[in-house]
Each structure stands twice: as structure tokens, then as C-alpha cells.
Amino acid sequence: MRKEKKLDGEWKFKGPDGVEKAVKLPHTWNALDGQDGGNDYYRGTCRYRTQFAMPEYDAAGERVYLEFRGVNASADVELNGRKVIHHDGGYSTFRADVTDSLEKQNLLTVSVDNSVNKTVYPQKADFTFYGGIYRDVLFRIVPVHHFEMDEYGAEGIRITPGVEGKDAKVRVQSSHKVPGASVHVSISDREGRLAAEGDGQDVTLSVPDAHLWNGVKDPYLYTADIQLILDGSVQDELHIPFGVRTFRVDPKEGFFLNGKPYPLRGVSRHQDWKGIGNAITTEHHDKDMELIREMGANTIRLAHYQHDQYFYDLCDRTGMVVWAEIPYISEHMPDGRENTISQMKELIFQNYNHASIVCWGVSNEITISTKDKADMLDNHRVLNDLCHELDPSRFTTLACYAMCGPFNKSAHITDVVSWNLYLGWYVPGLFLNDLWMGFFHKVYPNRCIGYSEYGAEGMPNLHSAKPRRGDHTEEYQAVYHEYMVQFFEKNPYLWATHVWNMFDFAADARDQGGEPGMNHKGLVTFDRKTKKDSFYLYKAYWSSEPFVHICSKRFQDRTEDTITVKVYTNQDSVTLLCDGKEISSKKGGHILSFQVPVSGKHVIEAVSGDLRDKAVFQKTDRPNPSYKLSVKSSNSANWV
């Protein structure tokens, strides 16, 4: 009944050099200059255009919408010389009815602007703001009588599941502008069997003995089939997957899913890839999810903006609990209030039906450089109230800057709060995490608190036998995360913890010498090819997939006579072999350390049952390279 057609043919792109060239979507003009440092990537207006024949549709019975799923940051769209739509916000879907503007042959022109301004977020943050049409553009051909298509890029359906005893009470609200039409709703289980049905534009259906969406253990989804009926004939029909679950947060016991404790331990994610930027495909999304699942995470903070609908769908299907947020970040702009509101409306309307999402993020580190604090606080109250008005079923949160103290008013507006704390990285003293969180928890025992960001830079080509804060070695990153993961184990009151970051990502304003323009706090490298040791640390704590992993494999040349070989595992015992001979066996714990004499070149193996991992270390008289870092702030680190 509904049809889609991607505009994935040839596009002409006119960039900052004024030269027009052929490109394919998705596309960004900052794929390279936005990842090389210097904070000099092009921010301005570029133009895309494409020609196409009129799509096939029934002029009497159908309407044609032109839909963009991600254009950063502002877009002016013209079809055959007529203005179609203007949109501000680089991460959400927007569309327009273009039926009456179509001709036999058509010219579509899109002017895209990611320039510096004071009205569209984000403008200041530690990541690259790639310009371009970096997600799909398509025609959505719908019946002339259809569910609402002009409501903040959403589909016109809102599904709110609740639980009463063993049954689900599923409220389905549909939006349309068809006088005299009725709505029929049917709910099917995963096998396609009818679970409930009823009629009404706002109807609540009872699903007996409901199968709950239970996170990564059992991400069960139902499907709601919603029909728009006029004069006994089905005019439009949508099929919406959803999950039935309950959740709550407790200031002393953390997060609960379906009435049971469910500690949220996971990662944050930026969407860009090396050499590609934000112009990624479904294959890239699949790879990201594959790696996150392998590590055993059960939650993702999708920072710092709305992500592709495809990835939210992946979270639904894999059971990831999601924190979704808008890019209201780093700096409050008085002229940007309306943009925060419009981006929040789009985020909620477009993502309302995702089982994975449990909370709406209002802002991130907004106190870093805010001058008008009163206006900023008022903006937060407006957004918080808006979230509750549009979606009473979920709670609100925000991520506070490390220097935003426990008594800061912005930390007490949303339902729960989390902090971006890098204690042990930007400032010395891992133990400060215990003191900081312990103090907040003591002063505000009824306030739910978590970690929205924590992490340390780690580069797989930098190593040290004596790792220290600020050295950017893979070893210090591992030491940092060893402390943090054990700290979380001891403090179940933390409602959620999110590693910053799952993947290295571009931050062109950074200057880090060896590889400028990059944030290396990822557990996996920017190209997704190298899993750092810290990745396997979390896998040892969070995953049930059996494995053993020898750390510091890339640190082969050693000057010491005896080295410490560290093994991460989720197995009960590990035996370490050197050149085929047993060194030692150890039981218990996720982190096992062995002392190994080194006199030449040695093959080290870690063995647990049928599981094996191998590394090679060799004695050398050549000293290791010495690196010295000066960490200036939470947003920059410079080589000196």
C-alpha cells in the first residue's frame, strides 16, 4: 500500500572550491578535513542537486513525500525552482509533501549549511560537525487518506505499553486528518499470532500473559498493525514493532527492568567512522552493534544527537537499553532556545515507539561556557516539562560537566542525573571517584546518579611497562578501566554507567601530535579494526562468551628481565605457558597477573580448557620511546 523509492542515483555536489562533481549519497564534505586536526574543516554552505523522472504514483489516490533522514545542519530544499522546506537540525528526519510540485522531469536542489551560528545546535563540542546529506533521501508514496506525515517527521502512531499483573495494557494513539475515518488496531506476537485487537483512534488493548521485552536476555517484540478505514475500505496501514516492559530507577538500588534489578553497564557511541565521517551505511551500523554486543554491554548512550532510525531498531532487536538525547551541548545560546525545543520534539515524536529507549537526555555539559545562567536554567525547565508532556512514560536525564558541582541547580532539574567525570585521567587520583560519588550519594540519598561519561585516552601504538596518567598508552587506559569497573561493582546505586567512548572518533579541534583531530578514548579504534585491551576487560566482566585474552600483545619489545603478563578472562582458571612450558595456573577473578622471566624471544600462551590466546615478547636493550603529554582541559590534550 505504501511505497518507498530512494534517490540514490547520481548527485552533483558543489563544494567550497566552487567545482561541481558527481557524488553518491550518503555524503559529507568533511570526511577527511574533519578528521585531521587544526579545527579548520570547512564549515559553510554547499549545494547538492539531482535530476529525476517523476516517480510512479496514482495522481488521484496517492501523495508523494520527499523525506530526508539526516542533513547537517541546516537545509534549504528546492524542487523545480520552488522552495519545498527549510530545516534546522542535523540529525533528525524531516519531510514535505511535494506532490503538487512534481513534473515529468525534475530538478532537486539542496543547500546544506554547517556554518558557525548562534541558533542551531550543536556549535561547541568535542566532536566534528560534518556537513552534508549523510543519510538517505527518499520518496514516501502514501495513500491520499493516510496517517499523519506532517508531525515532526514521525509516522503518526504512538504506542504506550503498560503491565498489569501478567497482562499488558497497550495504548495505541493514531493521528490523521481524514473526516469520517475509523482506525482498527491488531497486535501480533513474534510468530504472527493475533494477541489482541480493537477499534479507535485512541484505544487500549489487553494482551493476556504478555511476553516481556527483557533487555539483552530476551528482546521480545510484538507488532501493532494499524489500519485507517474509510467507507469500509482500508486506506492506509502501518506495522509498528514495540516491546512490553516496565522500568524504574531507585536511588539506592539502581535501575530495574520488569521489576528486577538490572544494572545498566555499557558505552556511549558516536556514529562517525574513519575516512567516512557520518556518511555511514547499514553495514557500518551492524558492525558497531556487533562489537558492542560482543563486549557484553547492555546499555548505550546515543550521544550527542539523534541517531539513525536503523540503529534504534537494532537496539530494540538486540535488547540494548538506550539513553537518547539532543545536541544541546557545552554552551547555552539564548538565540537557540527554539532549536532545542524543535529538536526535542523531533527526537520524541520520531522515537516514541522504540522499546529500547527509557529516557530522554536534555543536555550535555551545558555549564562549560554558559554566561546567562538564568536563561539556561529556564531553557532546561522548559525542555524537562516538554518531555513529560509529550511522553509521561519515560524519565528525563542530563549529563553534567565535571566542574559542575553537586549543588549546581542544573543537576537537580531532570528526574535523574549523570556526570561526565574523568577523575584519574584529566586530574590525578582514581580514588576521587569514590569520594565524589560517595559525597553526592550521602548529601542527596534520594537522587539517582550515574556516570554518563568516564574514560582515558589509549593508543594501540603507545606502550609503557610503568603506565601513568596522561601517557596515552594502551596500558594506562586498561589500568584506569580496571579501577572503574571494580568501583561500579561495589556501588550498585549507580543507575547507569556509560564508557566514553565505544569507538575513537573525530574531534578536529584537538591537536595530539601523532594523530591530531582525534579523541582516543574509544575501546575500539576509529576504523573498528583494533580492539584495545580495555575492550577485553569489559568483556571479562560483562560477557558470558568464554574467552581468554593476553594484554599488551602490541608491546612486544621489553627491556626488563621479568615482565608482568596480564590476562583478562571470564573463566574460572587460566594456565600460562612460556615456550610450551607451564609457568603458573591461577583461579578466580577477571584480571590475572603472571610474572614471566624474559631472556630472548618467547611465545606466551594463556590456556583455559579449549580456549587459547597467544602473544610474543622479546628482550631488547633498546629503550622504549618516551612520550610526554600536557593535559590542558577536558576537551583537549596537546603533545609537548
Active-site residues, by number, are 365
- What's the alpha-carbon Rg for the chain, to the nearest Å? 26
Instruction: Name the helix (H) or strand (E) containing 582.
Output: strand 581-587
> How many C-beta neighbours within 10 Å does residue 618 have?
12
Distance CA 379, CA 120 (A): 15
Contact by Cβ (8 Å): 604, 617: yes
For cell 556511549, the residue is 268
SS (H, E, C) 126-143: CCCCCCEECCCEEEEEEE
Residue from 447, 452, 485 nearest 323 by CA: 452
Distance CA 102, CA 105 (A): 8
> How many C-beta neighbours within 10 Å does residue 388 have?
15
557: helix, coil or strand?
strand
Phi and psi at 443, nearest 5°, equal: -75, -35
Contact by Cβ (8 Å): 28, 136: no
- Read off the C-alpha cell for 182: 475509523
Tell whether omega for the bond before 501 is within 30 degrees of 0, i.e. cis: yes
Residue from 110, 112, 89 nearest 42 by CA: 112
Q: How far is CA 3 from CA 56, 174, 233, in A?
A: 10, 20, 19
Give 353's DSSP letter.
T
Contact by Cβ (8 Å): 380, 399: no
Residue from 283, 270, 271, 276 nearest 30 by CA: 276
